[in-house]
């Protein structure tokens, strides 16, 4: 198995072309992946393969993810500077309308969301336009659609835009601060509980490290030893290589749009291996 996992940030909208607009890049990439004869599959399948609970043929597959869980993931929105924007979810529906639902029968996007409503409000005001674009109102509908999985991007991202004291005395702005059991519980297990309540009967089982910061305590200690309380099967980082059966389940690699590739040609190279 050798599955590239791609990552997008739907709020990355600085213009209306491939290089400046993640939703536009996402829509184009769906077509490129399809044109290359690759199969889009749920990240959950890739994780199950790595941890040994799944045994599917994942030859020629790609998995899609997006981070931070803004409303741009699910709802079309009017950007104050760059105008109307298609949501990632509607990009999936557009693809199905154009090519038919059988073209990519396992089409799926995994959305990593931030649990804390208070943190999301601060991030909405501090980093977005302050229009309520970090809501959780869409989570359940997204999960029910079958095209989207809602997963865990921590309690508050330990984000610097959150103008509240850091959890358990943490300095804000780095996820490497999560280096002890109380801090891990506050950032991960609490997020699991909150998200699970909102998407029941589904459950979150995949974590994504905020800022791609992988604290050694989480990777080597908390995730492997406290599965009962955090409920995670795997955690996603940014290693920029495909996931294989030898990958570290607590730091599975992804390629980030706008960082590891900026053009369709560069993505084509990644997918061609
Ligand atoms: Zn993030």
226-270 pLDDT per residue, tens? 999 999 999 999 999 999 999 999 999 999 999 999 999 999 999
CA of 97 to the centre of ligand 1 (A): 30
3 close to 63: Cβ distance less than 8 angstroms: yes
CA of 9 to the centre of ligand 1 (A): 8
Q: Domain boundaries in the chain?
A: 5-272
Of 175, 174, 179, whose CA–CA distance to 217 is shortest?
Answer: 179
149 close to 109: Cβ distance less than 8 angstroms: yes
The stretch 108-123 carries a mean pLDDT of 98
CA of 171 to the centre of ligand 1 (A): 17
CA of 54 to the centre of ligand 1 (A): 28
**Residue 4 pLDDT grade (very low, low, confident, very high; cuts 50, 70, 90):** very high
Token pair, residue 94, equals 């557009």
CA of 238 to the centre of ligand 1 (A): 12
pLDDT tens-digit readout, 145-204: 999 999 999 999 999 999 999 999 999 999 999 999 999 999 999 999 999 999 999 999
pLDDT tens-digit readout, 39-91: 999 999 999 999 999 999 999 999 999 999 999 999 999 999 999 999 999 99
CA of 201 to the centre of ligand 1 (A): 25
For residue 101, how many other CB atoms are within 10 A of its CB? 11
CA of 98 to the centre of ligand 1 (A): 31
CA of 152 to the centre of ligand 1 (A): 10
Q: CATH fold of 5-272, please?
A: TIM Barrel (3.20.20)
For residue 244, how many other CB atoms are within 10 A of its CB? 14
Cis bond upstream, residue 201 (ω within 30) = yes
């Amino acid at each position: 198995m050798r599955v590239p996992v791609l990552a997008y940030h739907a709020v990355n909208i600085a213009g209306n072309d491939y290089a400046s607009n993640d939703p536009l890049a996402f829509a184009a990439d769906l077509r490129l992946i399809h044109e290359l004869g690759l199969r889009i599959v749920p990240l959950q399948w890739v994780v199950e393969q790595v941890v040994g609970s799944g045994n599917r043929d994942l030859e020629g597959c790609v998995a899609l993810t997006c981070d931070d869980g803004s409303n741009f993931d699910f709802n079309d929105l009017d950007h104050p500077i760059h105008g109307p924007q298609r949501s990632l979810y509607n990009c999936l529906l557009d693809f199905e309308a154009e090519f038919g639902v059988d073209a990519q029968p396992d089409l799926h996007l995994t959305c990593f969301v931030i649990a804390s409503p208070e943190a999301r409000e601060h991030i909405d005001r501090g980093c977005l336009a302050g229009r309520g674009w970090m809501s959780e109102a869409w989570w359940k509908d997204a999960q029910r659609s079958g095209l989207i999985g809602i997963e865990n991007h921590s309690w508050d991202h330990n984000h610097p835009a959150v103008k509240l004291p850091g959890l358990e005395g943490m300095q804000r702005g780095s996820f490497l601060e999560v280096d002890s059991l109380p801090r891990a519980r506050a950032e991960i297990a609490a997020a699991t509980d909150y998200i699970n309540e909102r998407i029941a009967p589904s459950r979150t089982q995949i974590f994504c490290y905020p800022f791609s910061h992988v604290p050694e305590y989480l990777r080597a200690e908390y995730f492997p030893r406290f599965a009962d309380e955090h409920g995670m099967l795997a955690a996603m980082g940014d290693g920029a290589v495909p996931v294989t059966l030898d990958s570290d389940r607590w730091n599975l690699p992804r390629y980030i749009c706008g960082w590891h590739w900026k053009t369709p040609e560069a993505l084509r190279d990644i997918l061609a291996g």
